[in-house]
Structure 1
Amino acid sequence: MNEEYLNLPLVKNQVGMRFELKVGDYTTFIDYKEHGKKIWLIHTEAPEELKGKGAATAVIEKTLTYIEDNGYKLIPLCPLVAAYLKRHPEWDRILDESAKPF
């Protein structure tokens, strides 16, 4: 994760059903669905102004950390999250059994 994002807080917007990372005037987010201790990550989006600057990667990494720290299991539906997980198999530990093999 780019250093500029390290101290930015991840917000779990339960009303909007998305994890958000505010970078200046812009917000990168991941839409999610939650049931019990399972979280489905559905769609990741970064505004044009943040594309190519690592903001989407930062929100993914912070969201995965949140999922692990809070005892959830992940079901990745978002292609960007899925691609990240393929490059970082160490996160397989938080995958729900229904999402394996990934």
Structure 2
Amino acid sequence: MAVGTVRDNRAEQEFELDIDGHRAIAAYQREGGKIVFTHTKVPKAIEGRGVASKLIRAALDAARDERLKVVAQCEFVAAYIERHPEYRDLVQ
């Protein structure tokens, strides 16, 4: 598996991760001091490899670095935070 680096594409309002020629994204909207995660998409070709978890972990770490509060409209992001209590302090 060719593992890429998570990028914050602010122009598209997406965190992106390219793996084996496929792009996974976590879409968001910034609203003042918060970031609203709206949806996560992982292409079928790279599902089941922890791609979404790596993507969301990096996105949440970036939110923490920028002192943003997180609104998890995306079910995957909400479930990830539930499974990883170290991120619960970010939730608004």
1-side partners of 2:21 and 2:85: how far apart?
Answer: 33
Percent same amino acid among aligned pairs? 30
CA deviation vs aligned residue, 1:40-90 (integer Å, no higher than 9, x gap):
001001011110011011101110111001111100000011111111122
In 1, Cα distance between equivalents of 2:90 and 2:11 = 24
Alignment match of 1:24 (pick from 7, 16, 20)? 20
Paired residues, number: 91
Q: Map of 1:1-102 to 2, 5 A cutoff?
A: 5=3, 8-96=4-92
- The CA distance in 1 between the partners of 2:82 and 2:5, in whole Å, is 25
Partner of 1:99: none
Listed as ranges, the gaps of 5+ residues in structure 1 are: 97-102
CA positional deviation for 1:9: 2.4
Residue matched to 1:100: none
- CA distance in 1 between counterparts of 2:20 and 2:59 reads 19
With normalisation by structure 2, the TM-score equals: 0.90
Paired AA for residue 77 in structure 2: V
Distance (Å, rounded) in 2 between the aligned partners of 1:46 and 1:86: 20
Query: Structure 1-normalised TM-score?
Result: 0.82
How far apart in 2 are the matches of 1:55 and 1:21? 8
Cα RMSD, aligned residues only: 1.3
In 2: Cα distance, 1:70 partner to 1:64 partner: 10
